[in-house]
Chains A and B, each alone.
Chain A
Amino acid sequence: MTELAALHERLVRSAADEGLLDVAYRTVDSPVGPLLLARTPAGLVRVAFAVQDHDAALQELSDEVSPRVLEAPRALDDVASELDEYFAGRREAFDVPLDLRLARGFRRSVVEHLPSIAYGRTASYAQVAALTGSPRAVRAVGTACALNPLPVVVPCHRVVRSDGSPGRYAGGDDAKLALLALERRA
């Protein structure tokens, strides 16, 4: 380890001890490409695909949560290992605490309802709109899914078009197909 890397690690430890590590992040490799994972003391706050631009996602965290952002891989070990299990087909739901502060208002309500779509199943945008008690808000459900701050972990990939076609996905259409295929196979 280089000296600066060792100093960085020491800084992360001191920051955590002093309650100054507002946002910890790391990247992990996955079958749907590199994923950015970020957490606050409250829980996992952001998952971002490479196509969503990790630098832009970190800037958004800096603007929306706190600029006290540090790369702290160990702070996300639990999330990384749950994701490994998920991608290996050995995990159907995530246990890590979630911090949903990046989804506000109606978007928040949609994000909170998504985990009720069971692993390996899908629901239409209209069905999710009905779940949230706003059956006419089909288009807004689409927007809320596209802006889901915690894709994969909060399963917006299980929301599909009424005709059964997958529809769009923030991580790219291929990523959505891959996740749906993974859950069918397992």
Chain B
Amino acid sequence: MTEPFERVVARHGPTVLRVCRSVLRGADAEDAWSETFLAALRAYPELPADANVEAWLVTIARRKAIDVVRRDARHAVPVAELPDRPVPDGARDLDLWRSLGDLPPKQRHAVAYHHLAGLPYDEVAALLGGTAAAARRAAADGIATLRRTYPIEEES
């Protein structure tokens, strides 16, 4: 028994918007949200009944956010020197996204599922395999690496 897609949008729409906003700004985040749910709607009839819908949506959202970032990057103007003033908000998120993308897959997924999607560690573990403690360690290692590699100071 698959529930009407409207319920999926109502229940998970805010979380997916949070995920999109955490890596993209303004209209880009909205584009990623829209593309995520349109892709999800297309694939929804084939989704296994026991699938973790939120994790599935977060996975699609991640892919769509990457698409949006790539699309924007193609339109970016190359500059000879890096500016010495603070990097604007949009670019800062791009950096975070790249730093996140450089993490080993398990750490990246643990960070995205726990810190971006808000899944508790036992659900993260169910998605990644292994124990909740291992998921917690992977996320912590990922965050530690981000603290070193993410070029701009953290958002307060």
Q: What residues make up the interface of A, taking CB atoms closer than 8 Å to B?
A: 3-4, 7-8, 10-11, 14-15, 18, 20, 23, 25, 58-59, 61-63, 66-71
Q: Nearest 5 pairs between A and B by C-beta? A: A69-B4, A67-B2, A62-B4, A58-B4, A14-B38
Q: Please tell me which one of the listed residues A4, A18, A23, A63 contacts residue B42 in the complex, with CB atoms under 8 A apart.
A: A18
Q: For the complex, what is the distance from the CA of A68 to the CA of B4, rounded to whole Å? A: 6
Given contacts A62-B2, A71-B6, 8 further A-B contacts (CB under 8 A): A4-B13, A7-B13, A7-B37, A11-B34, A18-B42, A67-B5, A69-B5, A70-B9
When distances are taken between beta carbons in the complex, the residues of chain A under 8 Å from B38 are 11, 14-15, 18, 20
Given A4-B13, A7-B33, A8-B9, verify A20-B41 contact (CB < 8 Å).
yes
B6 CB to closest chain A CB (Å) equals 5
When distances are taken between beta carbons in the complex, the residues of chain A under 8 Å from B5 are 62, 67-70
- The reply to whether A68 and B9 form a contact with Cβ atoms under 8 Å apart is no
Q: Could you tell me how many residues of chain B have their Cβ less than 8 Å away from some Cβ of chain A?
A: 19
A160 CB to closest chain B CB (Å) equals 35
Q: With CB as the reference atom, state the residue of chain A lying closest to B1.
A: A63
When distances are taken between beta carbons in the complex, the residues of chain B under 8 Å from A7 are 13, 17, 30, 33-34, 37
Given A7-B30, A15-B41, A18-B38, verify A69-B17 contact (CB < 8 Å).
no
Contact of B44 with A by CB under 8 A: yes
When distances are taken between beta carbons in the complex, the residues of chain B under 8 Å from A4 are 13-14, 17
